[in-house]
């Protein structure tokens, strides 16, 4: 088992041990903390995602961004694990999709729609002290980050996590792109601006 796979296993086990109250309390704090970010307050378009299961909660955050008049893009998983995008129009306009994900109803905007985002909220399992993000290993967001870098577009890259998921070191691979900030229910940590790995 690789170091990344072992770390993923530990982090997923810790999430599985959270109670429903733990998750909902953290979601409230996470939304409050994230909404204070200048990077989101100044954004016209934010690419985000709908949290599922024990992921740090995003639903209150999505709704508040939408009510502020910010255009929120949500991912639509394609058969090859790449991501298309659609506009978030409220919780009643979400549909169950593959792998238990919730996706927006309405027109698909294409994988390049993310290039117009001022900020991208990334799911993850951990971020280390250098801003390296550990995802679940499916590669969907690695493709998004590669697409942004290839286009020379540099939105704010922000990961939403629980406090224990900010770790000392994650084994870095050539395709890994550092992020700008991590938001936990306890606060925000910013990193040196990432340089393109492409």
Known binding residue 4? Answer is yes
Known binding residue 187? Answer is no
Known binding residue 100? Answer is no
Known binding residue 136? Answer is yes
CB 8 within 8 A of CB 134: yes
Known binding residue 5? Answer is yes
Known binding residue 116? Answer is no
Known binding residue 55? Answer is yes
Known binding residue 54? Answer is no
Known binding residue 173? Answer is no
The helix (run of H) or strand (run of E) holding residue 75 is strand 71-77
Q: What is the 3-state secondary structure (H, E, C) of 101-151?
A: CEEECCCCCCHHHHHHCCEEEECCCEEECCCCEECCCCCHHHHHHHHHHHH
> How far is Cα 22 from Cα 127, in angstroms, rounded to an integer?
20
CB 161 within 8 A of CB 183: yes
CB 48 within 8 A of CB 197: no
Known binding residue 69? Answer is no
Which amino acids are annotated as binding site, given as ranges?
4-8, 50, 55, 133-141
Which amino acids are annotated as binding site for ATP, given as ranges?
4-8, 133-141
Which amino acids are annotated as binding site for substrate, given as ranges?
50, 55
């Amino acid at each position: 088992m690789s170091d990344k796979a072992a770390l993923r296993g530990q982090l997923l086990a810790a999430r599985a041990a959270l109670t429903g109250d733990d998750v909902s309390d953290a979601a409230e704090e996470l939304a409050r903390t994230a909404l204070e970010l200048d990077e989101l307050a100044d954004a016209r378009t934010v690419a985000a995602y709908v949290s599922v299961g024990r992921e740090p909660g995003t639903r209150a955050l999505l709704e508040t961004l939408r009510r502020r008049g910010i255009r929120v893009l949500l991912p639509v998983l394609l058969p090859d694990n790449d991501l298309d995008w659609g506009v978030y129009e409220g919780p009643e306009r979400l549909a169950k999709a593959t792998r238990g994900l919730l996706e927006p109803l309405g027109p698909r905007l294409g994988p390049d729609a993310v290039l117009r985002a001022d900020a991208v909220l990334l799911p993850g399992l951990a971020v280390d002290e250098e801003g390296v993000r550990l995802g679940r290993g499916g590669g969907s967001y690695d493709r998004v980050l590669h697409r942004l870098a290839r286009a020379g577009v540099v939105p704010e890259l922000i990961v939403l996590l629980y406090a224990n998921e900010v770790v000392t070191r994650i084994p870095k691979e050539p395709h890994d792109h550092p992020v700008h900030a991590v938001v936990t229910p306890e606060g925000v940590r910013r990193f040196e601006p990432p340089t393109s790995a492409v």
